[in-house]
Structure 1
Amino acid sequence: MSILADSKRLASGEIGHEHDDHAEEHSERWLISYADLITTLMVFFLALYVIELAKDRDLQTKKFEAQAATARAQSAASQADNVRRAAQAALIAQLAPLSDAHAITVSPSSQGVEIAINAKVLFASGDARLLPESLDVLSRVAQVLAGRSGKNILVEGHSDSVPISNGKYESNWELSAARAGAVVRFFVDKGIEPHRLAAVGRADNVPLVLGDDAQARAANRRVTILVQY
Protein backbone atom coordinates (compact mmCIF):
# COMPACT_ATOMS: atom_id res chain seq x y z
CA MET A 1 0.00 0.00 0.00
CA SER A 2 2.85 2.36 0.84
CA ILE A 3 4.62 1.70 -2.42
CA LEU A 4 1.38 2.15 -4.29
CA ALA A 5 0.65 5.40 -2.41
CA ASP A 6 4.12 6.75 -3.15
CA SER A 7 3.71 5.82 -6.77
CA LYS A 8 0.47 7.75 -6.86
CA ARG A 9 2.07 10.75 -5.15
CA LEU A 10 5.00 10.60 -7.55
CA ALA A 11 2.66 10.33 -10.45
CA SER A 12 0.73 13.30 -9.19
CA GLY A 13 3.95 15.32 -8.62
CA GLU A 14 3.58 15.77 -4.87
CA ILE A 15 6.93 14.19 -3.98
CA GLY A 16 8.77 16.28 -6.55
CA HIS A 17 7.25 19.45 -5.19
CA GLU A 18 8.25 18.55 -1.62
CA HIS A 19 11.82 17.86 -2.71
CA ASP A 20 12.02 21.17 -4.48
CA ASP A 21 10.65 22.98 -1.41
CA HIS A 22 13.23 21.35 0.85
CA ALA A 23 16.06 22.10 -1.58
CA GLU A 24 14.98 25.72 -1.93
CA GLU A 25 14.69 26.10 1.85
CA HIS A 26 18.16 24.60 2.32
CA SER A 27 19.68 26.74 -0.42
CA GLU A 28 18.42 29.97 1.24
CA ARG A 29 19.87 29.25 4.70
CA TRP A 30 23.24 30.78 3.75
CA LEU A 31 21.48 34.09 3.16
CA ILE A 32 20.41 34.15 6.79
CA SER A 33 23.96 33.39 7.95
CA TYR A 34 25.36 36.01 5.60
CA ALA A 35 22.88 38.60 6.86
CA ASP A 36 23.82 37.77 10.45
CA LEU A 37 27.49 38.16 9.56
CA ILE A 38 26.89 41.52 7.86
CA THR A 39 24.89 42.73 10.86
CA THR A 40 27.60 41.61 13.26
CA LEU A 41 30.30 43.32 11.21
CA MET A 42 28.25 46.50 11.01
CA VAL A 43 27.78 46.51 14.77
CA PHE A 44 31.51 45.82 15.24
CA PHE A 45 32.57 48.69 12.98
CA LEU A 46 30.02 51.00 14.57
CA ALA A 47 31.51 50.12 17.95
CA LEU A 48 35.01 50.87 16.63
CA TYR A 49 33.77 54.17 15.25
CA VAL A 50 32.20 55.11 18.57
CA ILE A 51 35.42 54.19 20.39
CA GLU A 52 37.47 56.33 18.00
CA LEU A 53 35.06 59.23 18.47
CA ALA A 54 35.43 58.89 22.24
CA LYS A 55 39.24 58.80 21.94
CA ASP A 56 39.24 61.82 19.66
CA ARG A 57 36.93 63.69 22.01
CA ASP A 58 39.20 62.81 24.93
CA LEU A 59 42.27 63.98 23.02
CA GLN A 60 40.56 67.21 22.03
CA THR A 61 39.51 67.77 25.64
CA LYS A 62 43.05 67.19 26.90
CA LYS A 63 44.43 69.45 24.18
CA PHE A 64 41.98 72.19 25.10
CA GLU A 65 42.81 71.81 28.80
CA ALA A 66 46.55 71.98 28.04
CA GLN A 67 46.06 75.10 25.90
CA ALA A 68 43.95 76.68 28.63
CA ALA A 69 46.60 75.86 31.26
CA THR A 70 49.32 77.32 29.05
CA ALA A 71 47.27 80.46 28.48
CA ARG A 72 46.69 80.82 32.23
CA ALA A 73 50.40 80.33 32.95
CA GLN A 74 51.37 82.88 30.30
CA SER A 75 48.81 85.33 31.65
CA ALA A 76 50.07 84.85 35.21
CA ALA A 77 53.69 85.26 34.06
CA SER A 78 52.78 88.39 32.13
CA GLN A 79 50.97 89.83 35.14
CA ALA A 80 53.89 88.99 37.42
CA ASP A 81 56.30 90.60 34.95
CA ASN A 82 54.12 93.71 34.80
CA VAL A 83 54.03 93.88 38.60
CA ARG A 84 57.81 93.46 38.74
CA ARG A 85 58.38 96.19 36.15
CA ALA A 86 56.00 98.52 37.95
CA ALA A 87 57.83 97.91 41.25
CA GLN A 88 61.19 98.56 39.57
CA ALA A 89 59.89 101.78 38.02
CA ALA A 90 58.54 102.92 41.41
CA LEU A 91 61.89 102.30 43.11
CA ILE A 92 63.79 104.11 40.36
CA ALA A 93 61.38 107.05 40.69
CA GLN A 94 61.97 107.21 44.47
CA LEU A 95 65.71 107.29 43.93
CA ALA A 96 65.51 109.85 41.11
CA PRO A 97 66.47 112.88 43.28
CA LEU A 98 69.75 111.22 44.28
CA SER A 99 70.33 110.05 40.72
CA ASP A 100 69.66 113.53 39.34
CA ALA A 101 72.17 114.94 41.81
CA HIS A 102 74.75 112.43 40.49
CA ALA A 103 75.18 110.98 43.97
CA ILE A 104 74.22 107.53 42.73
CA THR A 105 73.54 105.73 39.45
CA VAL A 106 70.34 103.71 39.17
CA SER A 107 69.54 101.22 36.40
CA PRO A 108 67.18 98.26 35.91
CA SER A 109 68.73 94.84 35.43
CA SER A 110 67.56 91.32 34.73
CA GLN A 111 67.70 90.63 38.47
CA GLY A 112 66.10 93.83 39.74
CA VAL A 113 67.35 97.38 40.24
CA GLU A 114 71.05 98.19 40.62
CA ILE A 115 72.24 101.22 42.57
CA ALA A 116 75.89 102.15 42.07
CA ILE A 117 77.83 104.52 44.33
CA ASN A 118 81.34 105.60 43.47
CA ALA A 119 83.82 104.52 46.13
CA LYS A 120 85.27 108.03 46.49
CA VAL A 121 81.87 109.16 47.82
CA LEU A 122 81.98 106.47 50.52
CA PHE A 123 85.59 105.71 51.48
CA ALA A 124 89.07 107.11 51.64
CA SER A 125 91.66 105.42 49.42
CA GLY A 126 92.55 101.94 50.69
CA ASP A 127 90.09 102.15 53.58
CA ALA A 128 86.69 100.57 54.37
CA ARG A 129 85.42 103.09 56.94
CA LEU A 130 82.49 105.17 55.70
CA LEU A 131 83.28 108.85 55.23
CA PRO A 132 81.08 111.29 57.18
CA GLU A 133 79.96 112.96 53.96
CA SER A 134 78.67 109.61 52.66
CA LEU A 135 76.17 109.13 55.47
CA ASP A 136 73.50 111.43 54.06
CA VAL A 137 73.42 109.62 50.69
CA LEU A 138 73.40 106.18 52.32
CA SER A 139 70.71 107.25 54.80
CA ARG A 140 68.41 108.37 52.00
CA VAL A 141 69.04 105.13 50.08
CA ALA A 142 68.41 103.10 53.24
CA GLN A 143 65.15 104.95 53.87
CA VAL A 144 63.87 104.00 50.42
CA LEU A 145 65.04 100.39 50.69
CA ALA A 146 63.55 99.92 54.16
CA GLY A 147 60.13 100.48 52.60
CA ARG A 148 60.75 97.64 50.17
CA SER A 149 60.01 94.97 52.73
CA GLY A 150 60.70 91.43 51.59
CA LYS A 151 63.07 92.31 48.76
CA ASN A 152 66.57 90.88 49.09
CA ILE A 153 69.48 93.31 48.83
CA LEU A 154 72.93 92.26 47.63
CA VAL A 155 75.74 94.72 48.36
CA GLU A 156 78.87 94.21 46.26
CA GLY A 157 82.23 95.89 46.73
CA HIS A 158 84.39 96.50 43.64
CA SER A 159 88.00 97.68 43.41
CA ASP A 160 90.32 98.67 40.61
CA SER A 161 93.07 96.40 39.31
CA VAL A 162 95.93 98.03 41.22
CA PRO A 163 97.13 95.68 44.01
CA ILE A 164 96.58 97.15 47.46
CA SER A 165 99.75 97.90 49.40
CA ASN A 166 98.86 98.53 53.01
CA GLY A 167 99.09 96.36 56.13
CA LYS A 168 95.35 96.31 56.83
CA TYR A 169 94.13 94.45 53.73
CA GLU A 170 96.17 91.76 52.03
CA SER A 171 94.42 92.11 48.67
CA ASN A 172 91.59 93.83 46.84
CA TRP A 173 89.40 90.87 47.81
CA GLU A 174 89.57 91.78 51.48
CA LEU A 175 89.19 95.50 50.79
CA SER A 176 86.15 95.12 48.52
CA ALA A 177 84.50 92.66 50.94
CA ALA A 178 85.12 94.99 53.90
CA ARG A 179 83.58 97.90 52.03
CA ALA A 180 80.48 95.87 51.16
CA GLY A 181 80.25 94.78 54.80
CA ALA A 182 80.47 98.39 56.01
CA VAL A 183 77.50 99.38 53.86
CA VAL A 184 75.51 96.35 55.05
CA ARG A 185 76.18 97.22 58.70
CA PHE A 186 75.04 100.78 58.05
CA PHE A 187 71.80 99.55 56.45
CA VAL A 188 71.10 97.26 59.42
CA ASP A 189 71.60 100.22 61.77
CA LYS A 190 69.05 102.14 59.67
CA GLY A 191 66.37 99.49 60.17
CA ILE A 192 66.71 97.20 57.15
CA GLU A 193 66.12 93.58 58.20
CA PRO A 194 69.45 91.70 58.35
CA HIS A 195 68.03 88.58 56.65
CA ARG A 196 67.42 90.64 53.50
CA LEU A 197 71.06 91.68 53.21
CA ALA A 198 74.20 90.01 51.87
CA ALA A 199 77.73 91.41 51.36
CA VAL A 200 80.08 90.22 48.60
CA GLY A 201 83.60 91.30 47.64
CA ARG A 202 84.25 91.23 43.88
CA ALA A 203 87.75 92.82 43.87
CA ASP A 204 88.54 93.89 40.28
CA ASN A 205 86.79 90.97 38.57
CA VAL A 206 83.67 92.84 37.39
CA PRO A 207 84.97 96.12 35.94
CA LEU A 208 82.48 98.77 34.95
CA VAL A 209 84.90 100.28 32.43
CA LEU A 210 87.65 98.46 30.55
CA GLY A 211 91.08 100.03 30.70
CA ASP A 212 93.89 100.76 33.13
CA ASP A 213 94.01 104.55 33.01
CA ALA A 214 93.15 106.71 36.01
CA GLN A 215 89.63 107.45 34.80
CA ALA A 216 88.78 103.77 34.27
CA ARG A 217 90.20 102.80 37.67
CA ALA A 218 88.18 105.53 39.37
CA ALA A 219 84.97 104.32 37.70
CA ASN A 220 85.64 100.71 38.70
CA ARG A 221 86.08 101.55 42.39
CA ARG A 222 82.47 101.41 43.50
CA VAL A 223 79.83 99.76 45.66
CA THR A 224 76.73 98.36 43.95
CA ILE A 225 73.45 97.66 45.71
CA LEU A 226 71.25 95.18 43.90
CA VAL A 227 67.61 95.17 44.97
CA GLN A 228 66.38 91.84 43.73
CA TYR A 229 62.96 91.39 42.06
Structure 2
Amino acid sequence: MALAGEKPNPKLDDDAEARPERWLLSYSDLVTTLMVLFLALYAIQLAKYHELEIKLLESARSVKNDRSPAGIAAHGAANGQQEAVRAGLLSLLRALRDRGQINIDEESGSVEISINAKILFRAGDAHLLPDSTSVLDQVAAALKGYSTRNILVEGHTDSSPISNAKYESNWELSSARAGAVVRFLVDKGIEPQRLAAIGHSDNIPLLLGDDAAARAANRRVTILVQY
Protein backbone atom coordinates (compact mmCIF):
# COMPACT_ATOMS: atom_id res chain seq x y z
CA MET A 1 0.00 0.00 0.00
CA ALA A 2 1.40 3.42 -0.95
CA LEU A 3 1.64 6.08 1.80
CA ALA A 4 0.08 9.43 1.37
CA GLY A 5 2.05 11.45 -1.05
CA GLU A 6 3.93 8.45 -2.41
CA LYS A 7 3.59 7.39 -5.98
CA PRO A 8 2.34 3.81 -6.49
CA ASN A 9 4.99 1.31 -7.67
CA PRO A 10 3.74 -0.38 -10.90
CA LYS A 11 6.17 -3.31 -10.43
CA LEU A 12 4.75 -4.23 -7.03
CA ASP A 13 1.24 -4.09 -8.41
CA ASP A 14 2.21 -6.49 -11.23
CA ASP A 15 3.75 -8.95 -8.73
CA ALA A 16 0.63 -8.85 -6.61
CA GLU A 17 -1.52 -9.61 -9.60
CA ALA A 18 0.76 -12.45 -10.80
CA ARG A 19 1.14 -14.14 -7.37
CA PRO A 20 -2.25 -15.96 -7.42
CA GLU A 21 -1.32 -17.64 -10.76
CA ARG A 22 2.10 -18.95 -9.68
CA TRP A 23 0.56 -22.11 -8.17
CA LEU A 24 -0.45 -23.18 -11.65
CA LEU A 25 3.20 -23.50 -12.62
CA SER A 26 3.91 -25.69 -9.59
CA TYR A 27 0.84 -27.78 -10.26
CA SER A 28 1.78 -28.37 -13.89
CA ASP A 29 5.30 -29.35 -12.81
CA LEU A 30 3.81 -31.86 -10.34
CA VAL A 31 1.49 -33.34 -12.97
CA THR A 32 4.36 -33.68 -15.43
CA THR A 33 6.52 -35.38 -12.79
CA LEU A 34 3.74 -37.85 -11.91
CA MET A 35 3.13 -38.64 -15.57
CA VAL A 36 6.82 -39.40 -16.09
CA LEU A 37 6.79 -41.57 -12.95
CA PHE A 38 3.77 -43.59 -14.09
CA LEU A 39 5.26 -44.07 -17.54
CA ALA A 40 8.47 -45.33 -15.97
CA LEU A 41 6.53 -47.76 -13.74
CA TYR A 42 4.56 -48.99 -16.76
CA ALA A 43 7.74 -49.56 -18.75
CA ILE A 44 9.27 -51.49 -15.83
CA GLN A 45 6.14 -53.65 -15.56
CA LEU A 46 6.22 -54.42 -19.30
CA ALA A 47 9.87 -55.40 -19.04
CA LYS A 48 9.12 -57.74 -16.11
CA TYR A 49 6.18 -59.32 -17.99
CA HIS A 50 8.34 -59.86 -21.07
CA GLU A 51 11.09 -61.40 -18.95
CA LEU A 52 8.56 -63.73 -17.27
CA GLU A 53 7.15 -64.77 -20.65
CA ILE A 54 10.63 -65.60 -21.91
CA LYS A 55 11.34 -67.67 -18.79
CA LEU A 56 8.10 -69.61 -19.21
CA LEU A 57 8.85 -70.36 -22.85
CA GLU A 58 12.37 -71.47 -21.98
CA SER A 59 11.01 -73.65 -19.18
CA ALA A 60 8.48 -75.28 -21.54
CA ARG A 61 11.21 -75.96 -24.10
CA SER A 62 13.50 -77.42 -21.46
CA VAL A 63 10.76 -79.76 -20.22
CA LYS A 64 9.96 -80.84 -23.76
CA ASN A 65 13.62 -81.43 -24.60
CA ASP A 66 14.61 -82.78 -21.21
CA ARG A 67 16.84 -85.78 -21.90
CA SER A 68 18.07 -86.12 -18.34
CA PRO A 69 17.46 -89.43 -16.56
CA ALA A 70 14.70 -87.84 -14.47
CA GLY A 71 13.03 -86.30 -17.52
CA ILE A 72 13.24 -89.49 -19.53
CA ALA A 73 11.90 -91.48 -16.58
CA ALA A 74 8.94 -89.11 -16.14
CA HIS A 75 8.15 -89.23 -19.85
CA GLY A 76 8.45 -93.01 -19.84
CA ALA A 77 6.19 -93.31 -16.80
CA ALA A 78 3.52 -91.20 -18.49
CA ASN A 79 3.72 -93.32 -21.64
CA GLY A 80 3.61 -96.49 -19.57
CA GLN A 81 0.51 -95.34 -17.75
CA GLN A 82 -1.17 -94.43 -21.04
CA GLU A 83 -0.37 -97.84 -22.50
CA ALA A 84 -1.71 -99.55 -19.37
CA VAL A 85 -5.00 -97.66 -19.71
CA ARG A 86 -5.23 -98.56 -23.40
CA ALA A 87 -4.46 -102.22 -22.65
CA GLY A 88 -7.14 -102.35 -19.95
CA LEU A 89 -9.73 -100.83 -22.27
CA LEU A 90 -8.90 -103.18 -25.12
CA SER A 91 -8.94 -106.24 -22.88
CA LEU A 92 -12.58 -105.55 -21.99
CA LEU A 93 -13.55 -104.88 -25.60
CA ARG A 94 -11.86 -107.82 -27.32
CA ALA A 95 -14.51 -110.29 -26.17
CA LEU A 96 -17.16 -108.21 -27.97
CA ARG A 97 -14.95 -107.98 -31.03
CA ASP A 98 -14.30 -111.71 -31.06
CA ARG A 99 -18.06 -112.32 -31.05
CA GLY A 100 -18.45 -109.98 -34.03
CA GLN A 101 -20.53 -107.44 -32.07
CA ILE A 102 -18.07 -104.57 -32.47
CA ASN A 103 -15.00 -103.63 -34.50
CA ILE A 104 -11.95 -101.93 -32.98
CA ASP A 105 -9.61 -99.58 -34.81
CA GLU A 106 -6.51 -98.66 -32.82
CA GLU A 107 -5.06 -95.37 -33.98
CA SER A 108 -2.28 -93.27 -32.51
CA GLY A 109 -3.67 -91.64 -29.39
CA SER A 110 -7.19 -93.07 -29.70
CA VAL A 111 -9.34 -96.18 -29.95
CA GLU A 112 -12.36 -96.30 -32.26
CA ILE A 113 -15.20 -98.68 -31.42
CA SER A 114 -17.60 -99.37 -34.28
CA ILE A 115 -21.02 -100.95 -33.68
CA ASN A 116 -23.20 -102.05 -36.58
CA ALA A 117 -26.54 -100.27 -36.59
CA LYS A 118 -28.52 -103.52 -36.87
CA ILE A 119 -27.39 -104.38 -33.31
CA LEU A 120 -28.63 -101.06 -31.98
CA PHE A 121 -31.64 -99.86 -34.01
CA ARG A 122 -34.51 -100.85 -36.26
CA ALA A 123 -34.34 -99.61 -39.84
CA GLY A 124 -35.09 -95.88 -40.06
CA ASP A 125 -35.34 -95.52 -36.26
CA ALA A 126 -33.16 -94.08 -33.49
CA HIS A 127 -34.58 -95.87 -30.44
CA LEU A 128 -32.18 -98.40 -28.97
CA LEU A 129 -33.29 -102.00 -29.25
CA PRO A 130 -33.68 -103.93 -25.96
CA ASP A 131 -31.04 -106.43 -27.10
CA SER A 132 -28.53 -103.63 -27.68
CA THR A 133 -28.07 -103.03 -23.96
CA SER A 134 -25.92 -106.14 -23.47
CA VAL A 135 -23.32 -104.76 -25.90
CA LEU A 136 -23.57 -101.15 -24.75
CA ASP A 137 -23.36 -102.17 -21.08
CA GLN A 138 -19.95 -103.75 -21.67
CA VAL A 139 -18.77 -100.79 -23.74
CA ALA A 140 -19.91 -98.36 -21.03
CA ALA A 141 -18.16 -100.42 -18.32
CA ALA A 142 -14.90 -100.33 -20.30
CA LEU A 143 -15.15 -96.58 -20.90
CA LYS A 144 -15.99 -95.86 -17.28
CA GLY A 145 -13.15 -97.96 -15.90
CA TYR A 146 -10.38 -97.18 -18.37
CA SER A 147 -11.03 -93.79 -19.89
CA THR A 148 -10.84 -90.26 -18.45
CA ARG A 149 -10.60 -88.21 -21.65
CA ASN A 150 -13.13 -87.09 -24.27
CA ILE A 151 -15.43 -89.51 -26.09
CA LEU A 152 -16.94 -88.65 -29.48
CA VAL A 153 -19.98 -90.64 -30.61
CA GLU A 154 -20.68 -90.49 -34.36
CA GLY A 155 -23.75 -91.69 -36.24
CA HIS A 156 -23.45 -92.99 -39.82
CA THR A 157 -26.15 -94.06 -42.28
CA ASP A 158 -26.11 -95.62 -45.73
CA SER A 159 -26.75 -93.65 -48.91
CA SER A 160 -30.41 -94.59 -49.24
CA PRO A 161 -32.54 -91.43 -48.86
CA ILE A 162 -34.94 -91.29 -45.94
CA SER A 163 -37.90 -89.03 -45.32
CA ASN A 164 -40.58 -89.86 -42.78
CA ALA A 165 -42.54 -88.23 -40.00
CA LYS A 166 -39.57 -88.37 -37.60
CA TYR A 167 -36.53 -87.72 -39.77
CA GLU A 168 -36.47 -85.57 -42.88
CA SER A 169 -33.07 -86.88 -44.00
CA ASN A 170 -30.15 -89.08 -43.02
CA TRP A 171 -28.62 -86.10 -41.24
CA GLU A 172 -31.39 -86.12 -38.63
CA LEU A 173 -31.35 -89.90 -38.35
CA SER A 174 -27.58 -90.19 -37.87
CA SER A 175 -27.58 -87.36 -35.30
CA ALA A 176 -30.46 -88.91 -33.37
CA ARG A 177 -28.72 -92.29 -33.25
CA ALA A 178 -25.51 -90.74 -31.94
CA GLY A 179 -27.54 -88.86 -29.33
CA ALA A 180 -29.29 -92.06 -28.22
CA VAL A 181 -25.95 -93.75 -27.55
CA VAL A 182 -24.65 -90.71 -25.69
CA ARG A 183 -27.74 -90.69 -23.44
CA PHE A 184 -27.20 -94.39 -22.71
CA LEU A 185 -23.58 -93.79 -21.71
CA VAL A 186 -24.56 -90.90 -19.46
CA ASP A 187 -27.16 -93.11 -17.76
CA LYS A 188 -24.37 -95.64 -17.14
CA GLY A 189 -22.22 -93.11 -15.30
CA ILE A 190 -20.02 -91.59 -18.00
CA GLU A 191 -19.46 -87.89 -17.24
CA PRO A 192 -21.59 -85.79 -19.65
CA GLN A 193 -18.85 -83.19 -20.15
CA ARG A 194 -16.64 -85.86 -21.70
CA LEU A 195 -19.19 -86.80 -24.36
CA ALA A 196 -20.20 -85.32 -27.70
CA ALA A 197 -22.61 -86.58 -30.38
CA ILE A 198 -22.39 -85.84 -34.09
CA GLY A 199 -24.21 -87.12 -37.18
CA HIS A 200 -22.34 -87.67 -40.44
CA SER A 201 -25.24 -88.96 -42.55
CA ASP A 202 -23.68 -91.08 -45.35
CA ASN A 203 -20.63 -88.86 -45.89
CA ILE A 204 -18.00 -91.14 -44.33
CA PRO A 205 -18.74 -94.60 -45.75
CA LEU A 206 -16.87 -97.59 -44.43
CA LEU A 207 -17.25 -99.35 -47.80
CA LEU A 208 -17.70 -97.70 -51.18
CA GLY A 209 -20.58 -98.84 -53.34
CA ASP A 210 -24.36 -98.97 -53.29
CA ASP A 211 -24.88 -102.73 -52.98
CA ALA A 212 -26.56 -104.35 -49.99
CA ALA A 213 -23.29 -105.35 -48.32
CA ALA A 214 -21.85 -101.84 -48.51
CA ARG A 215 -25.03 -100.25 -47.20
CA ALA A 216 -25.18 -102.69 -44.28
CA ALA A 217 -21.56 -101.99 -43.34
CA ASN A 218 -21.98 -98.21 -43.56
CA ARG A 219 -24.92 -98.15 -41.14
CA ARG A 220 -23.07 -97.89 -37.85
CA VAL A 221 -22.26 -95.89 -34.72
CA THR A 222 -18.63 -95.23 -33.86
CA ILE A 223 -17.29 -94.31 -30.44
CA LEU A 224 -13.95 -92.52 -30.60
CA VAL A 225 -12.06 -92.72 -27.30
CA GLN A 226 -9.29 -90.12 -27.03
CA TYR A 227 -6.10 -90.34 -24.98
* TM-score bucket of the superposed structures, by smaller chain: 0.5 to 0.7
How far apart, CA to CA, are the structure 2 residues paired with 1:227 and 1:185?
16
SS in 1 for 2:167: coil
Instruction: Report what 1:105 is aligned to.
Output: 103
Aligned to 1:199: 197
CA contact 1:155–1:198 (8 Å) conserved in 2: yes
Which consecutive aligned stretches of 4+ in structure 1 deviate over 3 angstroms post-superposition?
A: 72-83
User: Tell me, what secondary structure is at the counterpart of 1:200?
Assistant: strand
CA deviation profile, 1:103-157 (whole Å, cap 9, x unmatched) = 1112211341111100000000010000111111111111121113522111100
Q: Tell me the secondary structure at the aligned position of residue 209 of structure 2.
A: coil
Which amino acid letter does the alignment assign opposite residue 98 of structure 1?
L
Q: Quick one: distance in 2 between partners of 1:162 and 1:77?
A: 49
SS at the partner of 1:83?
helix
Seen in structure 2, the aligned counterparts of structure 1 residues 77 and 131 have a Cα distance that, compared at 3 Å, is same
Q: CA RMSD for the aligned pairs?
A: 2.3
Closer, same or farther: CA 74–207 of 1 in aligned 2, 3 Å: farther
1:181 match: 179
Find the partner of 1:130 among 104, 107, 128: 128
Give the C-alpha shift of residue 211 in structure 1. 1.2
Instruction: Give the equivalent residue in structure 2 for 1:214.
Output: 212
Q: How many residue pairs are counted as aligned between the two chains? A: 165
Give the counterpart letter for 2:179 in structure 1: G
* Residues 74 and 180 (structure 1), Cα distance of their counterparts in 2 relative to 1, 3 Å cut: same
Q: Is residue 82 of structure 2 the alignment partner of residue 84 of structure 1?
A: yes
Q: Report the TM-score, using the length of structure 1 for normalisation.
A: 0.66
Alignment of 1:23-34 (within 5 A): none
- Further displaced range: 146-155 or 219-228: 146-155
Structure 1 match to 2:144:
146
Which of 67, 82, 86 aligns to 1:71? It is 67
| Aligned equivalents of 2:204, 2:160: Cα separation in 1 | 14
Inter-partner Cα distance in structure 1 for 2:72 and 2:125: 49
Distance 2:215 2:115 in 1: 14
CA 1:155–1:104 in structure 2 vs 1: closer, same or farther (change >3 Å)? same
Unaligned ranges ≥5, structure 2: 1-60
Structure 2: how far apart are the matches of 1:101 and 1:93? 14
State the distance in 1 between where 2:110 and 2:219 align.
22
Counterpart residue type for residue 144 of structure 1: A
Cα distance in 2 between the residues matched to 1:179 and 1:223 = 8
Which sections of structure 1, spanning at least 5 residues, go unmatched?
Answer: 1-64
Greater Cα shift, 76-85 or 217-226:
76-85
Would you say the 8 A contact 2:104–2:114 is kept in 1? yes
Cα distance, 1:75–1:172 mapped onto 2, change above 3 Å = farther
Q: Which has the larger radius of gyration?
A: 1
Contact 1:115 1:224 in 2 (8 A): yes
Secondary structure of the residue aligned to 1:147 is helix
**What is the Cα deviation at residue 170 of structure 1?**
1.1
Q: Is the 1:119–1:221 Cα contact (8 Å) retained in structure 2?
A: yes
In terms of fraction of residues, the more helix-rich structure is 1
Shift of residue 77 of structure 1? Answer: 5.0
Q: Deviations over 1:159-189 (max 9, x none)?
A: 1111113221111111101000000001111
